[in-house]
Every structure is written in C-alpha cells, then in structure tokens.
Structure 1
Amino acid sequence: MIYLTRKADFSSAHFYRNPDWSEEKNLAVFGKCANANGHGHNYTLEVTVGGEVDPVTGFVVDLKLLKDILEEQVVSVYDHRHLNYEVPEFASTVPTTENIAVAIWRRLDGKIPNAKLHRVRVYEMDDLFADYYGEEA
C-alpha cells in the first residue's frame, strides 16, 4: 500500500452558531465567530488516497481524475460560498474545520476509482487544521 496526497484550495465564508442557544451563549462559546455576517478563510484541502501502484502507469490513481473529482465534489461546491447558507450539509451543522473535513470525506468516499480514501485534511489557516480518517478509524 502506498499513499498519495493531492491538494486543492477554496475560499469560503462561515460563522459558528447554535440556533438552540441564546445570543449570549453563542457569543460566550464561539466569540466573534458567532457573528451571523460571517467571516472568510482561504482553505487548503489535502486528500490522501491509498492503493497499489499500477505496474503499467506507475500511478496509484489517475492524477487528472483525482483533481477533477476534487473540483466537482468539493471546490465547485464550496469555493466562494457562504457555507452556512449555500452548502446543504451545513444548514444544520456548525461548519467548523472538523465538520468540514467530515463533510468532504462523505462527499468523496467511494468516488475515487482504484484507490481507498485514507485521510482528508482541511487547513483553515496555516496553523489550524483537522484530519479525518473516516468512520472506521
């Protein structure tokens, strides 16, 4: 088994808010991130897949195909969007870095031919990222 990682970038806005809480509790827990107008980040996504090296191509997965899948399933859906308002999986889920990683995993799982999704890493900032290894991990 060998692992291959592909990166992609997207820019999105979001806010943190629990609709069941008071304004005061949202502010106490989430601070300025609770501002309903939101704020944005330039995210970096790393998707790691594992598999065997094809003896003919030398690839674990077709790199162009992987790039196209990331574009179709993630970048085109998340880029220049307000996650809370425009991305269905965050209509009732707080779009934290952790939840974004899980949501991306769910979008990609089973869609990458001849390779197994191993890790989704989402960087919200250079010094803040979340790793998700799927339900089985």
Structure 2
Amino acid sequence: MVYLTRVEHFNAAHKLYNPAWSLEKNEEVFGKCANENWHGHNYELYITVKGTPNPDTGFVFDVKRLSDIIREHVIEKVDHRNLNVDVEFMKGQMCSTENLAIAIWKELTVHLPSAVQLHCVKLYETPRIYVEYFGG
C-alpha cells in the first residue's frame, strides 16, 4: 500500500458559538473564538489517499487530478468564505476544525475513483493546531 498526500491552502472565517448557550457561557468555553464579528485562519489541508501503483504509470493516483478534485469540491467552496454562513456542507454544524475535517472527508469520498481510497484528512488551523480524520 502506497500513501500519496496533496497539500492545499485556503483562508476562511468562522465563529465558535453554541446558540443554546448564553453569551457568557460561549465566551467562557470558546474565548476569542466566540467573537461576534468572526475570526479567520490560514488553513493548510493535507489530503492523503492510498492504493497500489498502477503498473502503466507508476502512480497511485494522478496528483493533478487529485488536486483538481480537492479544489473543485472543497477549496472553491471554503476559500475566502465564512464557514458558518457561506459553506453549504457546514450548515447546521459547530464550525470547529474537527467538524470541518469530517465534512471535507464526506465531500471528497464520493468523488474519488474506486482505484484509490481516502486515508486521511489532516487540517492545520494554525501552525501549532491541527486535526486528523481517518473516516469512520
């Protein structure tokens, strides 16, 4: 099994806020991330697929095609957007990095050919904070 990773970048704003809680409780739990005027991140997205190299090309998957799939089904929908308001696949969810990684997984799995399998969505919110999602 060979693992292939493509890295993409996007910028997006969001707010962590539970409408069932008071303003005080939201500020206590989420701190500055509950700012009513939103805040933004420069996200780094690592998409890893796995498979067996094709004997004719030596590729697990054409990395240009992988980039095109990621860009069309994720980056174009989230880049320079408000995750809470503008992104259809995040509607009705808390816009945490954890939930965003799961939603990205769901967006991509249906668009990958059966020759490869999505292995991991790794999403950096900051250089020191990231999540990894392996499906399930």
Please say which of residues 103-112 and 88-97 is displaced more in the overlay. Answer: 88-97
Cα shift at 1:101: 0.5
TM (norm. structure 2) is 0.96
1:119-134 → structure 2 map (5 Å cutoff): 119-134=120-135
Q: Who is 1:87 aligned against?
A: 87
Partner of residue 39, structure 1:
39
Distance 1:72 1:12 in 2: 16
How far did 1:88 drift?
A: 1.9
C-alpha separation between the residues in 2 aligned to 1:108 and 1:58? 23
Counterpart CA distance in 1 for 2:134 and 2:18 is: 26
- Residue by residue over 1:22-63, the C-alpha shift from the partner in whole angstroms, topping out at 9 and shown as x without a partner, is 111111110111012111111000000000000110100011
Q: Does 1:98 align with 2:98?
A: yes
Alignment root-mean-square deviation, CA: 0.8
For residue 45 of structure 1, what is the amino acid of its counterpart? L
Shift of 1:91: 2.6
Partner letter of residue 2 of structure 1?
V
Question: Size of the alignment, in residue pairs?
Answer: 135
1:116 and 1:102 map into 2 onto residues whose CA distance is: 15
Three-state SS of the structure 1 residue aligned to 2:85 is helix
Query: Could you report, residue by residue, the CA deviation over 1:75-112 in whole angstroms, capped at 9, with x for unpaired residues?
Result: 00000001011012333211111111101000001311
| TM-score normalised over the length of structure 1 | 0.95
Runs of 4+ in 1 over 6 A off after TM superposition: none
Please give the secondary structure, in 1, of the residue aligned with 2:43: strand
Instruction: Indicate the SS of the match to 2:59.
Output: coil
Check if 1:13 corresponds to 2:4. Answer: no
Matched, 1:61 2:70: no
How far apart are the structure 2 equivalents of 1:110 and 1:87?
Answer: 18
